[in-house]
Structure 1
Amino acid sequence: MLTTAISIIDAYINFDERFTLNNINWTVEPSQHWVITGTNGSGKSALAAVLGGVGDLESGSIQGIPTNVGLVSFEAQAELIAKELKKDDADIMDVISVGTPVREMIFDDCADPELAQTLIEKFGLTTLLDRAFRKLSTGETRKVMLVRALSSKPDLLVLDEPFDGLDADTLIMLQAHLASIVDTVPMVMVLNRFDEMPDFITHVAYMDKVQLDKKDNKSNTAVGNLALTIDRQDKTAFEDLYQLLHLKTTDLKIPAAGSSNQLPGLDASQPLVRLKGVTIKYEDTVIVDKLNWTIEQGQHWQLSGPNGSGKTCVLSLITGDHPQCYVNDIFVFGFQRGNGESIWQIKQFIGYVSTALQWEYRVSTSCRNVIISGFYDSIGMYSKSTDNQKKTANEWLELLGMRDRADQPFNKLSYGDQRLLLIARAMVKHPPLLILDEPCLGLDDMNRQLVLALIEKICAASETTVLYVNHHAEDKITGIDNYLALKKNN
């Protein structure tokens, strides 16, 4: 528990020469619980990360931050995954890496093993303790991080989008647990969704990205500014901020793919996807049991289910990325899987967005090239782009409000801006099947409404079938009338 206030006074904080927080003045009292919100790229996650010891203080002062901070964020999650992926580079040691088991991730240096065990049971992680951390789904890895942070006996909890990626039951359970500890530990949350704000939150901080800070003649650094702080009891200010964050973009027009980028035609009489009696299992554990599912052309679907129900596994069967796709009866885009087709013959007809893809997209390439890579289904660019492809990519950047960042490195952008670019990458070729695996994860209200409106326009067109995976009922897409709900096998 905090015994003194956290004070950030006239602080100028640098993050790897790519982003700065400028002239930050902020005080967090021991009895307060905060939400940080704002647009993508404004510095919400950066401000939260400061409380976890991230960033270089160049001027001003920061006082009162405790040594034991429980931190959960997409960036910290991605760092853990990256560390696990690096273990694959152990080839020179002639060692096959199996990855760190969940049990070790949670209980090594655990301050409260009894609480950890209770949370493991509440989060439904008991059967996953001996599985490698990197083999978990996005929601499952987030649960592991939450258990680690909550059982560390923190003096301060910093939770960056703690509810994203969780199914409805888990979200309710987590909110109840956080409400039960409000008197023992102050919390600072980064939230893009105001409707997920817990009742115990006392104050709101709104971040705004102001301009480019020209530190020298060679580089420009994006600057985030703490525009205002609001006591939740100030109803007028709170409602004004809520309205600001719920503005909707209108008159959206999806850029055309261009005649030179047309995909091969498909047989209109055949379904895009047919899964017949599909089963996915690992040893004695059955994830998906005898699933029958047909996706017709022009038929839009929403796929739902709790964490661990097999949603990502089913998607990877369709894309050809799952090893068990060849032992199941799967028909995609005119191909019966296992009859000699290449994975690229399948992938050319698919646009795909997922958190896993974002973790894999670790190359340092420009924002424009990220979008263009969608024409080649590649991570990074390995072919010379055409003038038409560059024109189309520029139109997408204009639509996303990122035209001035066309040549900036993708891996230096905020998490939300990266997700927007990957959605444009998936849509750029107007694929017959667009798979969106929780596309709004990590996006603020403004950008989420933009994404939802774009998906609705795609659904309204006849050339692309949308397969949409989502946990949030309020993010329902007009035009999606077919639903498949997977259940978790016990």
Structure 2
Amino acid sequence: MNNIVIENYTAEFGESFTLRDINWIIEPNQHWVITGTNGSGKSALSAILAGAGEKLSGSISGLPERVELVSFEAQAELIDRELKKDDTDIMDVISEGTPVREILEEGKADNPDFDADLLEELIKKFKLESMLERSFRKLSTGETRKIMLIRALVNKPGLVILDEPFDGLDVDSMTMLNELLQSQIDTVPMVLVLNRFDEMPDFITHVAYTDKGQLHHTVDIKDEQAYNDLYQLLHLKTTNLEVPETDDSDRPPALNPEDPLVKLTDIKVAYGDSKVLDGESWVIEPRQHWQLSGPNGSGKTCLLNLITGDHPQCYTNDIFVFGMQRGNGETIWQIKQYIGYVSTALQWEYRVSISVRNVIISGFHDSIGMYTKSSDRQKKVADQWLKLLGMEDRADQPYNQLSFGDQRLLLIARAMVKHPTLLILDEPCLGLDDINRQLVLALIEKICNSSDTTVIYVNHHAEDQISGIKQFKQLEKLA
């Protein structure tokens, strides 16, 4: 590999973000981490190496012929491509989507360097044999992430760019991925985008720090003083948080305090011959906060979707929620009025072009987008959340022009805005920088300790524990 040289480079990403005056050299045998706050330009900086953005000035030279980029945006585009296959089907036949094996081998036909042996090795290492014929779009978030990472590496690129590669992975998968990347460092240079400094692999040689669309610092890991200064910059603490009040004018009917909020009995979910859940039972009492854990593919998101009514097999199981037995004529909106929810799947689905403020307000109506006139009180509450998130100056900006991390922050506020009876947080900190992660964890802690909201919290990171959560449910992946 030659030096990759970026000189005085400026590029636009949509109408709302510009990467400005970038000067950066990546030398052979260097492996970089790009870090910074949400919306600072981390992902944009990595993406210009893969040809993204509209160039306004400057130059990039020395890029290898094949560059592989794995990011949440690329993951969402692939999921969206699979979903759109339903739109082209004829005779009312619903497509099952592309099998995992075909997704993994997509680069094989036109890439003479495609490494079939490495592919088979990684399939075994990540224990993917049983899902090779399954539809890619039916996999969990963590599983689809693994597939994309493997696909990138077996294509033998001249440069691999991994945007938050560890987010969405369970502990064992993170360890395996770290070992895998370590085994590849002599054959392919890597650029990683990371929000968490504690996830930085040992083989990283340099760190780039972005802020407000500019590259502010490039640090050699061996320069201890410069590295420690940068580390300090990224580990500020958030204190004295107050959760904004809500709009109480349209609260749902009161629930019977003697009933559990949720009761799942002997739950079974399968796709064909592949079992996801088999005999799971779970009772959630009011103000009994839970952490839900388990490896990728163990059915965590599936179990949550049964509670929210977003899984088709909720009507074939024994599910009691908010005083209602599922399948007895209740509507999904009767269920959702008691729930606040955030997940990666919701973020992929939330693609409407509305303002930042209206995204938060949509949480009052459990809608994706705004279809109801908002009240002055709801606007005031939304503005209080924006101030808390440091986004008050972006209230009228289009949501779909924000970074992944800023979008995630807004969807967390949307989930919390109505102070729901049940708050479901499926990996809420995924994609957040250290500062905003601390903010979100502090908010969850506050809600657990001082509100009538019951919390279900999913996360893979031991350091992101919430002291107010005392109940734990562990799922195991079925063979």
Indicate whether the TM-score tops 0.5.
yes
Match of 1:216 in 2: none
Match of 1:133 in 2: 136
- Contact residue 90 and residue 96 of structure 1 kept, 8 A: no
Measure how far apart 1:263 and its partner are.
Answer: 2.8
> 1:53 and 2:51 equivalent?
yes
Match of 1:13 in 2: 11
CA-to-partner distance for each residue in 1:220-258, whole Å, 9 max, x for gaps? xxxx00011101111112112112211111111111112
Aligned counterparts, 1:187-202, within 5 A? 187-202=190-205
Aligned counterparts, 1:270-281, within 5 A? 270-281=259-270
State the distance in 2 between where 1:264 and 1:256 align. 19
Measure how far apart 1:83 and its partner are.
Answer: 1.5
Structure 2: gaps (5+ residues):
109-113
| 1:164 pairs with one of 163, 167, 171 | 167
Match of 1:69 in 2: 67
Match of 2:435 in 1: 446
**Aligned with 1:277: secondary structure?**
strand
**Aligned with 2:77: secondary structure?**
helix
- Contact residue 191 and residue 197 of structure 1 kept, 8 A: yes
State the distance in 2 between where 1:23 and 1:462 align. 47
Structure 1: gaps (5+ residues):
210-223
- Contact residue 261 and residue 429 of structure 1 kept, 8 A: no
Letter in 2 for 1:32: Q
TM-score (norm 2): 0.97
Letter in 2 for 1:445: D
Letter in 1 for 2:35: T
State the distance in 2 between where 1:80 and 1:232 align. 35
Match of 2:111 in 1: none
- Contact residue 159 and residue 190 of structure 1 kept, 8 A: yes
- Contact residue 15 and residue 401 of structure 2 kept, 8 A: no
> 1:118 and 2:135 equivalent?
no
> 1:228 and 2:208 equivalent?
no
- Identify if the C-alpha distance between structure 1 residues 227 and 101 changes in structure 2 by more than 3 Å, giving closer, same or farther: same
**Aligned with 1:51: secondary structure?**
helix
State the distance in 1 between where 2:390 and 2:424 align. 23
Measure how far apart 1:97 and its partner are.
Answer: 2.5
Measure how far apart 1:282 and its partner are.
Answer: 2.2
Match of 2:151 in 1: 148
Match of 2:101 in 1: 103
- Contact residue 203 and residue 232 of structure 1 kept, 8 A: yes
State the distance in 1 between where 2:11 and 2:371 align. 36
Letter in 1 for 2:196: R
- Contact residue 358 and residue 369 of structure 2 kept, 8 A: yes
> 1:360 and 2:363 equivalent?
no
- Contact residue 304 and residue 470 of structure 1 kept, 8 A: yes
Measure how far apart 1:403 and its partner are.
Answer: 0.6
Measure how far apart 1:91 and its partner are.
Answer: 5.7
Match of 1:26 in 2: 24
State the distance in 2 between where 1:75 and 1:170 align. 21
| 1:347 pairs with one of 314, 317, 336 | 336
Aligned counterparts, 1:37-436, within 5 A? 37-90=35-88, 95-110=93-108, 111-209=114-212, 224-436=213-425
State the distance in 2 between where 1:16 and 1:327 align. 44
State the distance in 1 between where 2:13 and 2:266 align. 51
State the distance in 1 between where 2:65 and 2:368 align. 39
Alpha-carbon RMSD: 1.2
CA-to-partner distance for each residue in 1:174-207, whole Å, 9 max, x for gaps? 1011111111111100000000001110100000
Query: Which segment drifts farther, 80-89 or 310-319?
Result: 80-89
> Following superposition, which runs of at least 4 residues in structure 1 exceed 4 angstroms of deviation?
91-95
State the distance in 1 between where 2:395 and 2:86 align. 32
- Contact residue 356 and residue 399 of structure 2 kept, 8 A: yes
- Contact residue 272 and residue 333 of structure 1 kept, 8 A: yes
- Contact residue 34 and residue 207 of structure 2 kept, 8 A: yes
- Identify if the C-alpha distance between structure 1 residues 388 and 91 changes in structure 2 by more than 3 Å, giving closer, same or farther: farther
CA-to-partner distance for each residue in 1:384-417, whole Å, 9 max, x for gaps? 0011111111111111000111111111100000
State the distance in 2 between where 1:266 and 1:135 align. 34
Measure how far apart 1:59 and its partner are.
Answer: 1.1
Query: Which segment drifts farther, 14-23 or 67-76?
Result: 14-23
- Contact residue 432 and residue 464 of structure 1 kept, 8 A: yes
State the distance in 1 between where 2:98 and 2:220 align. 43
State the distance in 1 between where 2:260 and 2:231 align. 43
State the distance in 1 between where 2:223 and 2:250 align. 53
